[in-house]
Structure 1
């Protein structure tokens, strides 16, 4: 017997086959025919692979782009004319021209407003330096505008039972109210009661029980300014007289509620820091200073509008000066350089 066979037999006898070395699943598995979906999937994969191979072959067919008959170079493209002589859009220039013109008109209007406001402040300050006038028993509401900021004085007694608080109002960052009290002038006859804005009190002194010193009971002499109070803006809520809630001074409404004339007097006092502290602690209303407090910001508006007009005019000049065809100059330089 051959020597190799003897070696194989000795190896097989020393290492017999065991069941765990044999894959029983492979022995009993039967080959099943592919399903139609598998056939379609395999055909689709072969088609995609063929397309990729064909594209790869076409891309590497030509070594240089110029060897491809379908290649189009820059020299083969048709020339494009540069719009060097095109005019600017008329409507666009007209719209740009309206901006500096409008700003200039608004600046001139603010110049007129500045002159009007300066004359108005001068007229009010002239009224402040005059001696106070005694307030007549009956005042025509239509004539109050002619005496705005006029110093007047009146004698009578405060009716604290019909007191009204307008608020919230701030003074030096502190929340509080304006105290409006009817002044009954018995010596002037019936119907001579007027509304007096006595001044500001802090919020914690809103209750009359907390400020007895701020409620004089005897006859007093009130000196102040005959004024037209500020108007309500769109953000201010309406007053609720039935609940005693007042957000702004509606003189006619407050006069009907308190049974007085629609006349508004703002009590004045000299600016004194110590007196202000004393009144704040005791709940005595702090009157306004006898000065004109009209805002005059028209100088700032004039500078703003004229600056805007100048800036937009320069911008429009740059737009008009620059030709519409931006590439015309570059094309001309290229022609001169190549020539």
Structure 2
């Protein structure tokens, strides 16, 4: 019996380490068990309390706004933007004043046009011509075709041509400059237009005008070559021994008459109307 108990005790003793190894081996989990544990840990973390429900959580919307400035506090761009409406206001106001001035000026000239033609006095003070600008006048005398001057080129109805400037020698001995009108370029030579060389005493009706002003794009006249690009009244008067008085012949714009005059090379005068541009209302809306 004692031998049997001893044998059983030895068997128990041997089996104890074997059970311990079995228990340790059971603690070593397979890969699926490890993966399941990671998933369970992730799920447990996701079940944590959200930040929005945290009583200490502060949203960015609840923060005080802050202005972020880059560079200088007030750059030149801000000043330029501020000057734009101020400049536009002053320019618009200036154009309103210009519109009123131009409207009054045109009305004054149109009032002069409806008056009866005034006989031109023998001697005229050039300094007061501006007070009679666009005034209809009559002048009698004889054309000096030998001193004729052509100003151009001048376009009319798409054709190139010239303005015919002829001194008018009056009976009292004074001479004035007369802009007789437009002729085609093909009639530049007097030999091609004998009907335009009126002889004897003539009476012309036209507008007394102020001397023209040359713009910066117009070339200088070359009288030595007979080339005139703009009517320099004082220069032409000095060349012909005339008074610096400028008259523009007026005619009714009759189509058949214009066709006949153009074919024969006879200068055709301008209509009796005010041809001043008045675009200031458009400029007001622009500014």
- Count of aligned pairs: 222
- Residue 145 (structure 2) pairs with residue 145 (structure 1): no
Which residue of 2 is the match for residue 159 of structure 1?
144
Distance 1:157 1:203 in 2: 25
Q: Are 1:196 and 2:178 matched, yes or no?
A: yes
| 1:247 corresponds to which of 210, 219, 229 | 229
Q: Structure 2: how far apart are the matches of 1:229 and 1:142?
A: 11
What corresponds to 2:168 in structure 1?
183
Task: Please report how far the alpha carbon of residue 142 of structure 1 lies from its aligned counterpart in structure 2 after TM superposition.
Answer: 0.4
1:210 to 186, 189, 192: 192
Question: Which residue does the alignment assign to 2:112?
Answer: 127
Listed one character per residue, the Cα deviations across residues 260-296 of structure 1 (whole Å, up to 9, x for unaligned) are 1100000000110000000000000010000000000
- 1:53 counterpart residue number: none
Equivalent residue in structure 1 for 2:73, among 89, 101, 104: 89
Question: Structure 1 segments of 4 or more deviating over 6 A?
Answer: none
3-state DSSP of counterpart to 1:303: helix
Distance, in Å, in 2 between the alignment partners of 1:278 and 1:95 is: 60
CA deviation after TM superposition for structure 1 residue 252, in Å: 0.5
Matched, 1:103 2:88: yes
Structure 1 position 220 matched with structure 2 position 218: no
- Per-residue CA distance 1:302-330 (angstroms, 9 max, x = gap): 0000xxxxxxxxxxxxxxxxxxxxxxxxx
CA shift for structure 1 position 83: 9.0
The CA distance in 2 between the partners of 1:237 and 1:301, in whole Å, is 29
| Residues 285-294 or 88-97, more deviating | 88-97
Match in the other structure for 1:272: 254
- State the match for 1:322 in structure 2: none
- Please give the alpha-carbon distance, in whole angstroms, between the structure 1 residues aligned to 2:230 and 2:156: 16
Equivalence map 1:40-55=2 (5 Å): none
Q: Which has the higher strand share?
A: 2
- Give the Cα–Cα distance (whole angstroms) in 2 for the partners of residues 84 and 264 of structure 1: 74
Equivalent residue, structure 1, for 2:159: 174
Is 1:136 aligned with 2:121? Answer: yes
SS in 1 for 2:122: coil
Alpha-carbon distance between aligned partners in 1 of 2:67 and 2:156, rounded to the nearest angstrom: 67
Q: Write the distance in 1 (CA, Å) between the matches of 2:231 and 2:138.
A: 21
* Cα distance, 1:201 vs structure 2: 0.1
